[in-house]
Amino acid sequence: MLIENYDLEVTTPPCDPGVERFNAIARLVVDISQVLPYLNATWKGAIYDHSAHILTWRMGGRAVTVQPYEIAVSRLEDRQEATQVIERLVGMINRTWERRDEIEPNYQKRERLKALDVYKLLPGTNCKACGQPTCFVFANKLTAGEVEVEQCTPLFTETYQEKREQLLALIQAAA
């Protein structure tokens, strides 16, 4: 087991007093930088900077940052959720470390999917079929992992086949 102990700090963002969302930081007693390339290989959409030893990832609309001695998560509902999410992440990291002999480490740095790039490939009709008020809101939520591309039903018609193929390729490259 790589991570056995950590200290958990749960705070509200200092730039937004009174906010109802929390951030959590698990301060680790062991350097976990050696697991980062394995996480990069297994966590879809992770962005890994090998030289800086930092991995960022989106999990259910939350930003996750993993560094040698720290795991940080934002956009948590309360302290109980913070504890649960950190415990889940620690478990995922430990399981990945235990399976490292079965995983090809990935040192490649992917580019994060950008909302404006996604928006340019959407139909641009603001039809609300996806459940969002505009195509740009949908693009933002898609890049944050809060919606699935298939929710844009017009994109999956013959009219938008070329844009759809380009967007799916863009999403795959960022995965």
String of DSSP letters for 37-91: HHHHHHSTT-EEETTTTEEEEEETTEEEEEETTEEEEEEESSHHHHHHHHHHHHH
Residue 109 lies in a domain: no
pLDDT band at 7 (very low <50, low <70, confident <90, very high): very high
Domain count, the chain: 2
Q: Give all strands of the β-sheet with 62-67 in edge-to-edge order.
A: 6-11, 22-28, 70-76, 62-67, 54-59, 47-49
Say whether both 89 and 138 belong to one domain.
no
Across 28-43, average pLDDT: 96
% the chain with pLDDT above 70 = 95
Say whether both 57 and 131 belong to one domain.
no
Torsion angle of C-alpha atoms 100, 101, 106, 107, degrees rounded to 10: 80
Residue 153 lies in a domain: yes
For residue 130, the enclosing domain spans: 115-174
Say whether both 98 and 119 belong to one domain.
no
Angle ∠(138,139,140) on CA atoms, nearest 5: 90
**Domain end call among 102, 129, 161:** 102
Q: For 111-149, write each residue's pLDDT tens digit.
A: 778 899 999 999 999 999 999 999 999 999 998 878 999
**Going along 69-154, which residue ranges are E strands?**
70-76
> How far is residue 31's CA from residue 77's CA, in Å, rounded to a whole number?
28
**Domain end call among 63, 79, 102:** 102
Angle ∠(54,55,59) on CA atoms, nearest 5: 145
For residue 165, CA distances in Å to 118, 129, 174 come to 12, 20, 14
Residue 159 lies in a domain: yes
User: Would you call 93 helix, strand, or coil by DSSP?
Assistant: helix
Average pLDDT, the chain: 91
Residue 163 lies in a domain: yes
Looking at the DSSP bridge assignments, the partners of residue 10 are 24
- pLDDT value at residue 18: 58
